[in-house]
Amino acid sequence: MISKKSLAGESKAKFVKLYFARNGLTWQVPANNMPSTIRSIISAKEARKIISHLQNWKGKLSEQWKVRATANQAAIDKGDPYRYAEVVKGLTAMQEHTTLSATDRKHLSLGLEFLCEEMAEALGKTQERVNELITDAISPQPTVA
């Protein structure tokens, strides 16, 4: 929703009203700041590329918990779905071999939540269905002998 408001006696400026269902948060952003403040949601094509990225990404997270926690938090803060995917895949793989720390569990949960939310919107699917797609994408594929 776009509206005009006067602030501190200045002429009316255009604001865009955004609603974030996850937090029940409404945020008004000056319309002229939109390109530098808010990115558009990914497309269905981009969501399918992220599934492929999940299947093919061979990166590894740091063994040092502090380095890993800092990198994962930066990835989540950046708001890039590809980075969310890497956090999810890396921590899921790590979880298969060791118990995750509280911070790792938080990062895995946030990364998965943000990734599912955006991809569900892009693909027109439920978050539960997208979670299944992500799980399938990061699961090791059986090899044929």
Express each pLDDT in 78-117 by its tens digit.
Answer: 999 999 999 999 999 999 999 999 999 999 999 999 999 9
Low pLDDT (below 70) residues in the chain: 1-11, 141-145
Residue 89 within any structural domain of the chain:
yes
Q: Are residues 104 and 61 in the same domain?
A: yes
Q: Are residues 28 and 79 in the same domain?
A: no
CA separation, residue 87 to residues 22, 30, 44, 80, 90 (Å)? 20, 32, 21, 11, 5
User: Which residues lie closer than 8 Å to 133 by C-beta, 6 or more apart?
Assistant: 51, 119, 125
Q: What is the pTM of this model?
A: 0.79
Residue 89's CATH number: 1.20.58.1290
**Domain total in the chain:** 2
